[in-house]
Amino acid sequence: METTTVLKPRRFDFELGAGVTLAADVFGADRLGVVILAHGGGQTRHSWAGAAQKLAAEGWEVIALDLRGHGDSSWAPGGDYGIERFAADLVEVARRQRRGAHLVGASLGGLAGLVAETQVAPGVFRSLTLVDIVPRMEPTGVARIMGFMAANLEQGFESLEAAAEAIAAYVPHRPRPTDLSGLRKNLRLGDDGRYRWHWDPSFASGVRRDRTEDGMAALEERAARIQIPVHLIRGRLSELVSSEAARAFIERIPGGVLTDVAGAAHMIAGDRNDRFTDAVLSFLSSVAELAE
């Protein structure tokens, strides 16, 4: 019977200055290149565990980050969670890689990558994979996501099971896990015995300020000038990115690639990890071939 080798990640901290340190798990060795994984808002680096393992097994060095204010990374001094700050953090991590890096960003991580590539430091990444995120997001989808993040923000959950019930209600299409050890990594246990999401509560209000209609329209215009390979992976059940918005966005980018993952909603890596990772690997292989 075939066995799967589980790679143990190496813990690494990126000291970025101004009181911000980003925690990371690093998988594999740089045989084909470096891939930075940037999670969505309210998540942590552990959201990528399955994808990171498979990418590393194929020869990529994988850096799974906790974004500022999330997981084991620093909470931003003064609650500085503007999208340009997340973008600048990703730029700094990419610049510290000897041969550069490809970015795979989900939701917030993808939006930050898009801002980095169009505004902060064009050309900093070798390629950009956006996971269920475009500038023209569906307002109802945004409201639903923000509502889920705001619920139980202060009072938390009395147990892991209660948190699992809240997630199950939010993603009813996904089978509820029987093992809650993975969920524990996305929660912190307070002195009062209650579990709360593993991120700075001030993040939710701080990141909202940048998502104006005019700001997103300007971002869409700048995206048309991107010079690196771009891959958009959309969940076919996504409440945030419509099929029309996905096609319209990717058609503006020369050579842009669109993958539509059946059976997945906004959190594609959690819904259909194998299909998601295969799509990422296929795109990265095509980019590597172009570079040869």
Residue with tokens 């040869």: 292
Alpha-carbon torsion angle 143, 85, 65, 157, nearest 10:
-40
Give the span between the Cα atoms of 116 and 120, in whole angstroms: 5
* Mean pLDDT across 63-89: 95
Roughly how many angstroms between the first and final C-alpha of the chain, as a whole number? 37
* Mean pLDDT across 121-131: 97
Give the span between the Cα atoms of 288 and 260, in whole angstroms: 22
> Which of the 8 DSSP states describes residue 77?
G
> Which of the 8 DSSP states describes residue 67?
P
- What is the pLDDT, as a whole number, of residue 173? 83
Q: Give the orientation angle of helix 108-115 with respect to helix 213-223, to 10 degrees.
A: 60
Name the residue ranges covered by the structural domains of the chain: 10-139+204-291
Confidence of residue 2 (pLDDT cuts 50, 70, 90): very low
Confidence of residue 234 (pLDDT cuts 50, 70, 90): very high
Q: Is the model's pLDDT at 171 over the cut of 50?
A: yes
Percentages helix, strand, coil for the chain (3-state, rounded to 5) are 40, 20, 40
Q: Is the model's pLDDT at 1 over the cut of 50?
A: no
Confidence of residue 48 (pLDDT cuts 50, 70, 90): very high
Q: Which two tokens stand for residue 148?
A: 């889920």
- What is the pLDDT, as a whole number, of residue 207? 62
- What is the pLDDT, as a whole number, of residue 259? 98
Which of 88-102, 127-141, 213-227, 230-244 is the least confident region? 213-227
* Mean pLDDT across 196-224: 81
Confidence of residue 208 (pLDDT cuts 50, 70, 90): low
Number of H helices, E strands in the chain: 11, 10
- What is the pLDDT, as a whole number, of residue 146? 87
Candidates 75, 68, 121, 133; CA nearest to 96 is 121
Q: Is the model's pLDDT at 18 over the cut of 70?
A: yes
3-class DSSP assignment, residue 261? strand
* Mean pLDDT across 244-257: 94
Q: Is the model's pLDDT at 181 over the cut of 90?
A: no
Give the span between the Cα atoms of 23 and 157, in whole angstroms: 25
* Mean pLDDT across 253-269: 94
Mean of per-residue pLDDT scores for the chain: 92
Confidence of residue 223 (pLDDT cuts 50, 70, 90): very high
- What is the pLDDT, as a whole number, of residue 151? 86
Q: Are 132 and 241 in contact (CB under 8 A)?
A: yes
- What is the pLDDT, as a whole number, of residue 3? 44
Q: Is the model's pLDDT at 226 over the cut of 80?
A: yes
CB under 8 A, 24+ apart: contacts of 185-189: 185/44, 185/46, 186/43, 186/44, 186/46, 186/47, 186/71, 187/157, 187/160, 187/163
| Domain 10-139+204-291 of CATH type 3.40.50.1820 | yes
**How would DSSP label each residue in 14-62?**
EEEETTEEEEEEEES--SSEEEEEE--TT--GGGGHHHHHHHHHTTEEE
